Chains A and B, each alone.
Chain A
Amino acid sequence: GNSVTQMEGPVTLSEEAFLTINCTYTATGYPSLFWYVQYPGEGLQLLLKATKADDKGSNKGFEATYRKETTSFHLEKGSVQVSDSAVYFCALSEAGTASKLTFGTGTRLQVTL
């Protein structure tokens, strides 16, 4: 079956530090890959997505590249802000359907001044 593995959190960074949250996946075929962010007390928001190998998703300074050879979709940001503090979920869906998202366990990011 499909699975997503994320690095354990929490990740604690100072403001303006570089962020990497690792995500690797196991899936058959060519899944679509997503990063969702959940701010305290809220639902999940789509942060970025990529639907085929070598695609780069980007949004709000965050980037992730779909690497089929390493089955990875690592999230990066060059300079984090306190407002980026949240839980980040890596997820995949099988090609052609968004019905069944497989989520990673989530990584909590805490950014301090």
Chain B
Amino acid sequence: DTEVTQTPKHLVMGMTNKKSLKCEQHMGHRAMYWYKQKAKKPPELMFVYSYEKLSINESVPSRFSPECPNSSLLNLHLHALQPEDSALYLCASSGVSDSPLHFGNGTRLTVT
């Protein structure tokens, strides 16, 4: 069982919908990440939160809006997405410095 929990597992949304992806970890990690993974490709970094503050935004379009309500939770708010945004969205967390990332099982998003 993964220690990073993501909900929902699957999400289908229209281009005018607003939805949110949720991620939770209870390992005491202070860094949390959102990655996007297209089929047969490696994950691409979207956002990094460190100590609940946004530290990296990899030039992600504003239709993706991250939020870190506390050290255990990470959300990704979605609005006015495009079909090409359909992908597996992975959350990850890590401890300090060289600690490896722990990934959740992802949310498979389909935009229709």
Contacts and interface: CB of A to CB of B under 8 A. Distances in A.
Interface string B21-54: 0000000000101000000111101001010000
A99 B50 contact: yes
A95 B99 CA distance: 11
Interface of A: 32, 34, 36, 41-46, 49, 51, 89, 93, 95-101, 103-106
Contacts, number: 62
Interface string B80-109: 000000000010101001111111111000
A42 B1 CA distance: 11
Contact of A89 (B42, B92, B104): B42
B90 A44 contact: yes
Given A43-B106, A46-B100, A98-B100, A105 B48 contact: no
Nearest to A108: B40
Nearest to A6: B42
Given A100-B56, A101-B101, A43 B45 contact: no
